[in-house]
Amino acid sequence: MTLAVNGQQIELLSPRPLQPGLEVQLTRTANNQVQLQIAPPRNDNGAQLKLQEGLQQILRDNLPQQLPAGDALNQMRQLSATSRGGNDAVAQVVKSLLSLFSVAPKSDAKTTQQVVQNHLQSSGLIGLTKTNTSGGKPELPPLQQQLGKLNQLAEQLPPQAREQMLTLVKGLQARSASHQATSLQNWQELPDGSLERQYRLDLPIRLDRDRLEDSEIRIQQQKRPDEQGRFVSQWSIQLHFDREELGSVDAHVSLQQEWQLSARFWAERDDTAHLIREQLDSFQQQLGASGFQVEALQVQRGRPPRDTRSPINHRLVDLHT
């Protein structure tokens, strides 16, 4: 960390990360040394209550009008294909949305990673690194950019199509706000540098040229000191989707020691569970080719326990976003 004293910068090393806004006390000792002490946390229950009330209000405002991303994108694509009263600009923006926020079943890891990052950036839960070079202003997140264009271009559509498109835009905006509020309700940062975070998002899957299926992802992070006092991040990823031909499918994935991976699948139907088991060897080979060491792959018939919060008890690699 860097201190500014009388216009000069002094570099100090802390054995653990210091969160923004954390109060510390610096004491000069003999031999020109500085002792750093972290102030005890203040229990500001009023601020926490106000924050939770604000998040609850966001959910009350947005849950009634939210639309899952896959559903909204399906309707946008159909609407842009049947409404040619304006021009092809609307169809081009919808095509960009599909490219930025959906994946094909066999997308490579790099493509899927970029789509997930687009969702996280659009939720406001992680920052953007790019800036608008012309004005020096922060660049809008990907979703807000595209929906802003649709809001403008919708004026060129026939009246009924315009109202439908604006409703779909509002539905996607409400979905993003709901995910953001739900995620922030599960965030906690402690004075010692420990933290807990959760990220919720949709990941639409392009099954064919005319249909997208929704899947839901929850990414959980815990950051705790290990036996040597070094902070390590622990991650758990949960995926859920429901397809007519497969039924409900859930996957819980964890990583440890950076490249050690374990996964458990739940399938509602026997034939789907059997199908997943048949693919495990191929899946393990693909993971191995990507550098992962597979610890365990398990398949169970049924559903995961209701409202389960898989304990994150492995040391996992940080996500660089």
User: What span, in angstroms and rounded, lies between the C-alpha atoms of 310 and 301?
Assistant: 18
Residue 11 has pLDDT above 80, yes or no: no
Residue 100 lies in a domain: yes
**Do 86 and 176 share a structural domain?**
yes
Residue 17 in tokens: 């990360």
Looking at residue 136, its pLDDT comes to: 53
Residue 153 has pLDDT above 60, yes or no: yes
Enclosing domain of residue 142: 61-188
**Do 245 and 184 share a structural domain?**
no
Kindly indicate the confidence band of residue 95, based on its pLDDT and cuts at 50, 70 and 90: very high
Give the total number of structural domains in the chain. Answer: 3
Looking at residue 33, its pLDDT comes to: 74
Given the DSSP bridges, would you call strands 231-243 and 247-256 parallel, antiparallel or unpaired?
antiparallel
Kindly indicate the confidence band of residue 87, based on its pLDDT and cuts at 50, 70 and 90: low
Residue 207 has pLDDT above 70, yes or no: yes
**Do 172 and 72 share a structural domain?**
yes
When comparing pLDDT for 133 and 117, which is higher?
A: 117
Looking at residue 100, its pLDDT comes to: 92
Residue 78 lies in a domain: yes
Residues whose CB falls within 8 Å of the CB of residue 223, separated by 6 or more in sequence, listed in order:
193, 194, 195, 196, 231, 232, 233, 234
- Range in 26-30, 143-147, 163-167 the model is least confident about: 26-30
Looking at residue 69, its pLDDT comes to: 93
**Do 319 and 272 share a structural domain?**
yes
Residue 30 has pLDDT above 50, yes or no: yes
**Do 306 and 267 share a structural domain?**
yes
Residue 43 lies in a domain: no
**Do 296 and 265 share a structural domain?**
yes
Q: Across residues 44-72, what is the average pLDDT? A: 88
Residue 103 lies in a domain: yes
Residue 317 lies in a domain: yes
Kindly indicate the confidence band of residue 61, based on its pLDDT and cuts at 50, 70 and 90: very high
CATH number, domain containing residue 238: 3.30.750
Q: Across residues 60-71, what is the average pLDDT? A: 94
Residue 194 lies in a domain: no
User: What span, in angstroms and rounded, lies between the C-alpha atoms of 129 and 121?
Assistant: 10
Residue 133 has pLDDT above 70, yes or no: no
**Do 168 and 88 share a structural domain?**
yes
**pLDDT tens-digit readout, 157-197:** 889 999 999 999 999 999 999 998 998 888 887 777 788 88
**End residue of a domain, out of 188, 207, 238:** 188
Average pLDDT, the chain: 81
Looking at residue 8, its pLDDT comes to: 73
**pLDDT tens-digit readout, 67-79:** 999 999 999 999 9
Kindly indicate the confidence band of residue 127, based on its pLDDT and cuts at 50, 70 and 90: low
**End residue of a domain, out of 137, 165, 188:** 188
Looking at residue 239, its pLDDT comes to: 93
**Do 146 and 76 share a structural domain?**
yes
**pLDDT tens-digit readout, 255-310:** 877 788 999 999 999 999 999 999 999 999 988 988 889 999 999 999 998 754 43
pTM of the model: 0.73
Residue 205 lies in a domain: no
Share of the chain above pLDDT 90, in %: 37
**Do 307 and 231 share a structural domain?**
yes
When comparing pLDDT for 241 and 1, which is higher?
A: 241
Kindly indicate the confidence band of residue 312, based on its pLDDT and cuts at 50, 70 and 90: very low
Given the DSSP bridges, would you call strands 293-301 and 8-11 parallel, antiparallel or unpaired?
unpaired
**Do 183 and 79 share a structural domain?**
yes
Residue 321 lies in a domain: yes
The residue assigned the tokens 């990360």 is 17
Q: What angle do CA 112, 219, 225 make, to 5 degrees?
A: 125
For 270-286, the DSSP string reads HHHHHHHHHHHHHHHHH
When comparing pLDDT for 93 and 314, which is higher?
A: 93
- Give backbone dihedrals phi and psi of 217, rounded to 5 degrees, phi first: -125, 135
**Do 304 and 271 share a structural domain?**
yes
**Do 177 and 76 share a structural domain?**
yes
